[in-house]
Every structure is written in C-alpha cells, then in structure tokens.
Chains A and B, each alone.
Chain A
Amino acid sequence: GQQLNQSPQSMFIQEGEDVSMNCTSSSIFNTWLWYKQDPGEGPVLLIALYKAGELTSNGRLTAQFGITRKDSFLNISASIPSDVGIYFCAGNYGGSQGNLIFGKGTKLSVKP
C-alpha cells in the first residue's frame, strides 16, 4: 500500500534556531499538506501545496512540493516557544480525500 515517511520523529532545538523536516512517499502525490497539532487538539492546516516545485510561505514557515512529486519539506525559521507541537505532513495520491495519507509526525520541542 501507499507509504509516507516523515522525518525526523522528534527535534529538540534552542529558541531562535531554524527547523527543517521532510516527508517522502513511495508514490507520486498530487497534493501535499502540512499541519500542526497542539496536545489534545485537532490539527491546524499550515500550508497546502498543489504543484510540483511549488514553494509557499506562511510567516516564518516555508514548504515546498518536490519536483519528483514524491517529497515535501517544511522549514520553520527563527523558532519560538509557541512552535512546540507535532507537525504532520499529508499527501493525496488521487482525486478523493479518501486517498489522503498522513505521516507519523515530527514532535518539536523548543528550549527558551
């Protein structure tokens, strides 16, 4: 079946540092989505990518849809304590959200 590998599993960084995480798939995806989840809450959409090569920013966040359509990365610049949480990538390999697959998440911890 479809597989999505997200790395790293966890990160411990100092406030002010930049962060990078990525997802790779075994298949070509049409869409990449990046979410952030705080403890006990639902995921919140950060960035949506729809075209290969697309580079999109949302404040200090930047995400790219890989040229091969099998990978995506998310960068966070100048991290702050409220960046703490779990970041999920999700990829869609078909026209229906029934084909949306989630990575297992990257847990980010930020030391003030």
Chain B
Amino acid sequence: DGGITQSPKYLFRKEGQNVTLSCEQNLNHDAMYWYRQDPGQGLRLIYYSQIVNDFQKGDIAEGYSVSREKKESFPLTVTSAQKNPTAFYLCASSIRADGELFFGEGSRLTVL
C-alpha cells in the first residue's frame, strides 16, 4: 500500500545525544516536510524539501538537520543543540509544493 512510514514510533534519548528519525514515502511525491507538535499546539514546520538534494528551513530549524538524497527518503536529525527536543514529530509529503499534505503516523521522542 502507498503511504508514509515513520520510524521509530517511540524513541528515548539521553541529553547530549543526536538522534535520527526516519521518513520514507512510496507515493512518488516531490515534496516532503517535517513538523513538530507539542501538546495543545498546532504543527510547526522544521524543514521542508521540494526536490531531491534541496531543502529549506522552516520556522523552527535550529537544532535540527535534514538530508534529501533520495526522493523517497527525508530523515531528520535532532541534534544535541536542540534545547527542548521532547515532542511528537510528524513527517508529511505532497505531490507538489502547493498540494495537499499527507502525514505519517509520527515519532514520539523523549529526552531523559
């Protein structure tokens, strides 16, 4: 079935460690996105990519990094520089830059 797969679903990390969240899509979508969700908040854009080998910072990119080496994959690294990394992370894709977003099931990161 076509869709967006995020892994892992749950992740625990010690302070000072980097962690990478995986996002894979088989929808043949050009654009991919990473959002952060905190309780009672809307979704905030971290990074987005409209084409392979290109990506743009969103509203809250500090402490995060991404790569887009393949159309299907858009991994997000939460670095030790991110001061408050505990959150629910959502990956999304769209067929074009202004199209509808389709989301993965999310990854919950907890920093101990």
The chain A residues found within 8 Å of chain B, CB to CB, are 4, 6, 30-31, 33, 35, 40-45, 48, 88, 90, 92, 94-98, 100-105
Closest Cβ of chain A to B56, distance in Å, is 6
Sample (7) of A-B pairs whose CB atoms are under 8 Å apart: A35-B103, A42-B106, A43-B90, A45-B101, A97-B101, A98-B97, A104-B42
Known contacts A40-B108, A42-B90; is A92 also within 8 Å of B98 by CB?
Answer: yes
The chain B residues found within 8 Å of chain A, CB to CB, are 4, 6, 31, 33, 35, 40-45, 48, 50, 56, 58, 90, 92, 94, 97-106, 108
Alpha-carbon gap, A45 to B100, bound state (A): 8
Having A31-B98, A90-B43, one finds 18 other A-B pairs with CB under 8 Å, namely: A4-B42, A30-B98, A40-B106, A40-B108, A42-B92, A42-B106, A43-B103, A88-B42, A92-B98, A94-B98, A95-B97, A96-B48, A96-B50, A96-B98, A97-B99, A101-B42, A102-B44, A103-B42
Q: Which residues of B contact A48 (CB under 8 A)?
A: 100
Alpha-carbon gap, A77 to B42, bound state (A): 25
- Residue contact A100 to B45, C-beta cutoff 8 Å: yes
